[in-house]
Amino acid sequence: MGVKIGVFPASGALGSSIVNHLAKLVPVSDLVLIARYPEKLHDFQQAGATVRKADYDEPSTLDTAFEGVDVLMLISYASFEIDHRVKSHRLAINAAVKSGVKHMFYSSLGFGGNLTDQSIAHVMGAHIETEKYLSSLQDMVSYTIVREGLYTESFPIYTGFFDPQNPADEVAIPHSGSGPGVAWVKRDELGEATAKLIASYINDPTSFEYLNKAVLLSGSREVSLAETVEIIGRAIGKPLKIREISVDEYVNLPQIGDKHTYHGVDLSREWATAWEAIRRGETAVVSPALREILGREPENYETTIKALIR
C-alpha cells in the first residue's frame, strides 16, 4: 500500500488542477479526495480513488475526513475574510493532526513579497495566520507552505471586474497602473507544480527541499497593471487603459454589487488593500521555483489571457 495523499477541497479550480496532475504522478488508488460536492469526483472514484464528503462550513464533517491520510494538501477556504477563514483552517488542521496526517501542504497566496510574514493586503491576513499556526505545530506535523502566485485567470478582481464579453471603455480601480506590478501565473501550472512538489516529498521526504519551509510559485515576469490592462485590450481588440479612482469610488461601482460580501459583511473596502499591496511591490517578486519544478518556462501572461478571452 502506498502513501495516502489527501486533497481538501478537491473539486475547486486549484484543487481540480492539483488532483488531475497528481493522478499522472501517483497511483489513483493512493488518492483520498475530499470535497463539499463529492459527486464532482465521480470519475476519480471510478478509477480507484477514495472520495469523501466534507465541508469547511460543517466542522463536524472534518472529524473523520482525513482518516488514513499520510500527506494532506489543504487548500484555503474560498473567501478573503480573516476570522472565519482562520477558524476554518485551524479546525481542518487540527482534525488532520488528530487523524495522524504526517505532512501538510497548504495553499497560501503570493502577496507578502519574498516570503515575508507581513502584508498590507487584507486577502493575505488569513494566510499569514494559518502559516504561523502550521509552523507552531511542527513538532506534531511537518508542513510546506505553497504561496501560489496571483492567477492570471483572476484578473477580473484586480481590474474592477472588467468583463471581456461586455467590455467597458476603461478599467476603473484605485491604482494608476504604474510602478511594481504582478508576476501573473497560469492556475493550471500552479496546480501542476504543486502536484510535483507533493510527489517529490513522497518520493524522498528526508531530502525534500521545502520541509517546514515556504516556496513562492510566481510567473517568470512582472507585469505592471497598466500593461496587464493593455494586454487584455489587445486580446479583445479594443484599446484599454486604467482610470485611477479613490477607494470610496471603487466601493460604489455598480459592477461591484455583493461580489465582496461574505457572511453578510461587505468587504469591498478591505479588498481594495490589494492594490496598495501591489503598489508596494508585494506581488512583483519573480521566483525561479515554478520554472525549476515544471522543468520549463511558465506560460506568459499574454498567452494565457488570449486563450481565456478568445
Q: How deeply is 157 buried, as exposed, middle or buried, from its count of CB atoms within 10 A (0-12, 13-18, 19+)?
A: middle
What is the pLDDT confidence band of residue 263, given thresholds at 50, 70 and 90? Answer: confident
- Give me 207's grid cell: 531530502
| For the chain, domain boundaries | 5-151+185-217, 154-180+220-284+301-309
Q: What is the pTM of this model?
A: 0.97
Helices (H), the chain: 13-22, 42-46, 83-99, 125-136, 155-158, 187-203, 225-236, 247-251, 268-271, 273-279, 289-294, 301-309
Task: Quick: pLDDT tens for 151-172.
Answer: 999 999 999 999 999 999 999 9
- The residues near 257 (Cβ < 8 Å, ≥ 6 apart) are none
Task: Quick: pLDDT tens for 13-64.
Answer: 999 999 999 999 999 999 999 999 999 999 999 999 999 999 999 999 999 9
Nearest to 122 by CA among 287, 285, 300, 247: 247
Rounded Cα distance, 231 and 305, in Å: 8
Q: Residue 68: its pLDDT value, please? A: 98
Task: Quick: pLDDT tens for 211-245.
Answer: 999 999 999 999 999 999 999 999 999 999 999 99
- Give me 282's grid cell: 508585494
- Give me 107's grid cell: 495553499
Q: Which residues are bridge partners to 33 per DSSP?
A: 7, 51
Fill in the DSSP letter of residue 162: -
What is the pLDDT confidence band of residue 81, given thresholds at 50, 70 and 90? Answer: very high
Q: Residue 246: pLDDT above 70?
A: yes
Q: Residue 1: its pLDDT value, please? A: 66
Q: Residue 144: pLDDT above 70?
A: yes
Pick 154-180+220-284+301-309's CATH classification: 1.10.3720.10, 3.30.70.20, 3.90.25.10, 2.60.260.20.
Answer: 3.90.25.10
Sign of CA dihedral 215, 290, 221, 177: negative
Pairing of strands 265-266, 261-262: antiparallel
Rounded Cα distance, 145 and 34, in Å: 20
What is the pLDDT confidence band of residue 180, given thresholds at 50, 70 and 90? Answer: very high
Mean per-residue pLDDT of the chain: 97
Q: Residue 12: its pLDDT value, please? A: 94
What is the pLDDT confidence band of residue 94, given thresholds at 50, 70 and 90? Answer: very high
5-151+185-217 with 154-180+220-284+301-309: one CATH topology? no
Average pLDDT over residues 284-309: 97
CATH of domain 5-151+185-217: 3.40.50.720
Percent of the chain at pLDDT > 70 equals 100
What is the pLDDT confidence band of residue 310, given thresholds at 50, 70 and 90? Answer: confident
